[in-house]
């Protein structure tokens, strides 16, 4: 589908003379304009809700966090320039964490912990709560669980498929993992969404999956990608009430994340994300020494 940037500019009252694509996720394609604004356009009809959520959250967190976050520039609703919606936001400079040679990450972990504590403590009024999605990993399982487990059995054998199914059932029935007061969470804190710029606070971008949910979930990707030592420092700065319980919970939730990637990444995500799911599952089954 052809993008008419003149129409985008008129609809948002912005003078867009040139753009170039800088990224693509599961639900949106991201462009940078000559004005150094970021335009995220939806890839399918279901993307529209995520863009609406992101616009709401960017307004809610503006000037509220110790981290740098994008400023919402425009969010036409409905959008005439693109059928699946789009939003315009300010550019946050920096290098994604996964592209940086990490040495001592104590300061980074501490900054993240302080930011998450502030985020999770934000007051979300009743009206806003009705507009934000409620995230619950048990809903994931109802959508993809059986199909993902069939793929596990096909690839790893019936015995392993049964073992993984039993463990997933145990995790889903552990009520303490889910009986929590939902707060505002980022819900997709991948390393590419954490930006590092010398002399400045960390930047956190890509808020489309944000919503109300379990605050511990915001440590999950950090646990997978950075390891427990990093999360322990981060959660310590956060003021988490039970680090031992958090480590056990994150280890368990990694299994659900693996199943999610194994099932959904093949349809919506980059091809390497399904393999990431298999790698997480392999580590979960036989943790590295």
What does the pLDDT look like over 42-97, one tens digit per residue? 999 989 999 999 999 999 999 999 999 999 999 998 889 999 999 999 999 999 99
- Residue 14 CA to residue 62 CA, distance in Å, equals 21
Provide the pLDDT for residue 144.
Answer: 73
Strands (E), the chain: 19-24, 28-33, 37-42, 72-74, 86-90, 95-96, 183-185, 194-196, 203-204, 211-213
Tally of domains in the chain? 2
In this structure, are 203 and 75 located in the same domain? no
In this structure, are 67 and 119 located in the same domain? no
**Is pLDDT at 289 greater than 60 in this prediction?**
no
Q: What does the pLDDT look like over 168-198, one tens digit per residue?
A: 999 999 999 988 999 999 999 999 999 999 8
pTM of the model: 0.93
Strands 95-96 and 194-196: antiparallel
In this structure, are 129 and 232 located in the same domain? yes
- Classify 195 as helix, strand or coil: strand
Provide the pLDDT for residue 287.
Answer: 72
In this structure, are 130 and 241 located in the same domain? yes
Nearest partner of 131 among 48, 215, 211, 232, judged by Cα: 211
Q: Provide the domain limits for residue 175.
A: 96-285
End position of a domain, from candidates 57, 76, 91? 91
Is the CB of residue 188 less than 8 Å from the CB of residue 53?
A: no
β-sheet with 95-96: strand ranges across: 95-96, 194-196, 203-204
Is the CB of residue 119 less than 8 Å from the CB of residue 188?
A: no
Provide the pLDDT for residue 101.
Answer: 79
In this structure, are 62 and 106 located in the same domain? no
Name every residue whose Cβ is closer than 8 Å to that of residue 17 and which is 6 or more positions away in sequence: 34
In this structure, are 243 and 178 located in the same domain? yes
User: How many other CB atoms are there within 10 angstroms of residue 94's CB atom?
Assistant: 20
End position of a domain, from candidates 58, 91, 124? 91
Higher pLDDT, 31 or 269: 31
- The 8-class DSSP code of residue 107 comes to H
What is the CATH number for 75?
Answer: 3.30.200.20
Helices marked H in 95-157? 106-120, 126-131, 137-156
pLDDT grade, residue 268 (50/70/90)?
low
State the average pLDDT for the chain. Answer: 91
**Is pLDDT at 1 greater than 80 in this prediction?**
no
- Residue 87 CA to residue 132 CA, distance in Å, equals 17
Is the backbone of residue 187 left (phi > 0), alpha (psi -120 to 50) or beta? left
Instruction: Quote the percentage of the chain above a pLDDT of 90.
Output: 74
Higher pLDDT, 127 or 214: 214
Nearest partner of 207 among 121, 92, 113, judged by Cα: 92
Provide the pLDDT for residue 104.
Answer: 77
End position of a domain, from candidates 67, 91, 115? 91
What is the CATH number for 146?
Answer: 3.90.1200.10
In this structure, are 187 and 51 located in the same domain? no
Identify the weakest region by mean pLDDT among 112-126, 200-214, 225-239, 252-266. Answer: 252-266
pLDDT grade, residue 270 (50/70/90)?
low
In this structure, are 206 and 247 located in the same domain? yes
Provide the pLDDT for residue 2.
Answer: 84
Identify the weakest region by mean pLDDT among 27-41, 220-234, 267-281. Answer: 267-281
In this structure, are 20 and 120 located in the same domain? no
Helices marked H in 173-270? 220-226, 228-238, 243-268
pLDDT grade, residue 126 (50/70/90)?
confident
In this structure, are 254 and 275 located in the same domain? yes
Written as six digits, the tokens of 93 are 């400079």
In this structure, are 143 and 68 located in the same domain? no
Is the CB of residue 215 less than 8 Å from the CB of residue 116?
A: yes
- Residue 238 CA to residue 264 CA, distance in Å, equals 31
In this structure, are 169 and 244 located in the same domain? yes
Provide the pLDDT for residue 258.
Answer: 93
Where does residue 205 rank: exposed (0-12), middle (13-18), buried (19+ CB within 10 A)?
Answer: buried
């Amino acid at each position: 589908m052809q993008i008419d940037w003149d129409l985008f500019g008129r609809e948002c009252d912005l003078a867009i003379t040139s753009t170039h694509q800088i990224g693509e996720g599961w639900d949106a394609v991201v462009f940078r304009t000559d004005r150094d604004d970021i335009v995220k356009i939806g890839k399918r009809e279901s993307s529209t809700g995520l863009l609406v959520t992101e616009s709401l959250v960017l307004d809610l967190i503006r000037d509220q966090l110790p981290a740098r976050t994008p400023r919402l520039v425009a969010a036409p609703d409905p959008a005439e320039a693109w059928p699946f919606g789009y939003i315009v936001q300010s550019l946050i400079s920096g290098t994604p964490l996964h592209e940086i040679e990490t040495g001592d990450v104590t300061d980074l972990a501490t900054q993240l912990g302080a930011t998450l504590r502030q985020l999770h403590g934000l007051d979300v009024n009743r009206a806003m709560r009705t507009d934000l999605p409620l995230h619950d990993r048990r809903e994931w399982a109802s959508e993809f669980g059986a199909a993902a487990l069939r793929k596990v059995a096909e690839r790893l054998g019936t015995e392993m498929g049964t073992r993984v199914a039993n463990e997933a059932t145990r995790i889903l029935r552990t009520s303490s993992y889910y009986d929590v007061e939902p707060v505002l969470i980022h819900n997709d804190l991948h390393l590419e969404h954490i930006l590092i710029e010398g002399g400045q606070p960390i930047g956190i971008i890509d808020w489309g999956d944000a919503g109300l949910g379990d605050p511990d979930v915001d440590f999950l990707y950090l646990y997978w990608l950075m390891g427990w030592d990093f999360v322990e420092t981060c959660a310590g700065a956060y003021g988490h009430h039970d680090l031992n319980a958090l480590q056990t919970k994150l280890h368990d939730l990694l299994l659900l994340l693996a199943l999610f990637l194994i099932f959904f990444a093949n349809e919506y995500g980059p091809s390497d994300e399904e393999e990431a799911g298999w790698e997480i599952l392999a580590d979960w089954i036989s943790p590295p020494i």
